[in-house]
Amino acid sequence: MQDKILAIFNNIQPLGQELTDEIRLHGKLTRSEKKCDLLQFHQINKSIHFILSGCVRVYCINDKGEEHTSWLLTEGDLAISISTYTWITGTKNAVGSAVGEEVPATRRSHASYTVTVDERTFRNVCNTSACKGASQYDLNNYNCIACAIDVFNAALPSTKPFSVADSPIGFTTPAGLYGRLNQINSAGVSGVSMNQANAPVNSSPCN
């Protein structure tokens, strides 16, 4: 299996011994069931698949739930998500806060979702906020959006949590939260507001 892959690669560009050894060391044979998903939307591609037999279909689903095939991969092709490697970088540098620097007509921080709670639920929200606020911040695994969603869900029935899908770069983002609120607002969910608001004042840099 590895010899076949190496032969194809060497026909494109001769490989050095170090890279050849790495492919032999880390390459492994896997079998996938028909119609299974090698990678789903929002997932980070952690493997490069070399197709020995069969066919892989690359497709997307539009807002109407319709599937559109964009590519068919067959024997000898590589199946890989290029977006993973164009979006993800080795480091994330700290940047100055953009709060207060948005254009009012296009800003995405004016959305809100309001629910009415009783005293017991409010206490649960406060306890959840204190607990989650002590969690270690991690951009990929537990960022400020994820924390805010957990706190908000403490005010909702456990059977109907509010959720936001991960972005293509692997974690929840403010834009993703805004998009989700806009989606449920369009669906007629009560309590969601997309009204214009004045931007808060920038006070300090953030990561």
User: DSSP for 137-150?
Assistant: PBTTTB-HHHHHHH
Distance CA 13, CA 6 (A): 10
The pLDDT tens digits for 104-155 are 544 555 678 899 999 999 999 998 888 887 777 777 778 888 888 999 999 9
Please identify which residue in the block is written with the tokens 């939260």. Answer: 177
- Strand duo 112-113 + 192-193: pairing: antiparallel
Which domains does the chain show, CATH number per domain?
A: 2-82 (2.60.120.10), 112-193 (no CATH)
Residue 85: per-residue pLDDT: 56
- Taking 70 as the pLDDT cut, the residues of the chain under it are 1, 41-43, 63, 82-110, 168-170, 196-207
Q: Which amino acid is at 39?
A: L
Q: What is the model's pTM?
A: 0.45
CB atoms within 10 A of CB 151: 19
Q: What is the DSSP letter of 56?
A: E
Residue 97: per-residue pLDDT: 41
Distances (CA, A) of 109 to 1, 49, 59, 130, 195: 52, 40, 32, 24, 10
Residue from 52, 100, 97, 103 nearest 78 by CA: 52
Residue 196: per-residue pLDDT: 61
Residue from 39, 34, 28 nearest 55 by CA: 34
Residue 93: per-residue pLDDT: 40
Contact 114, 193 (CB under 8 A): yes
CA atoms within 13 Å, Cβ hemisphere of 81 = 20
Residue 158: per-residue pLDDT: 83
Return the SS3 of 113.
strand
Residue 168: per-residue pLDDT: 66
Distance CA 56, CA 49 (A): 10
Total residues belonging to the chain: 207
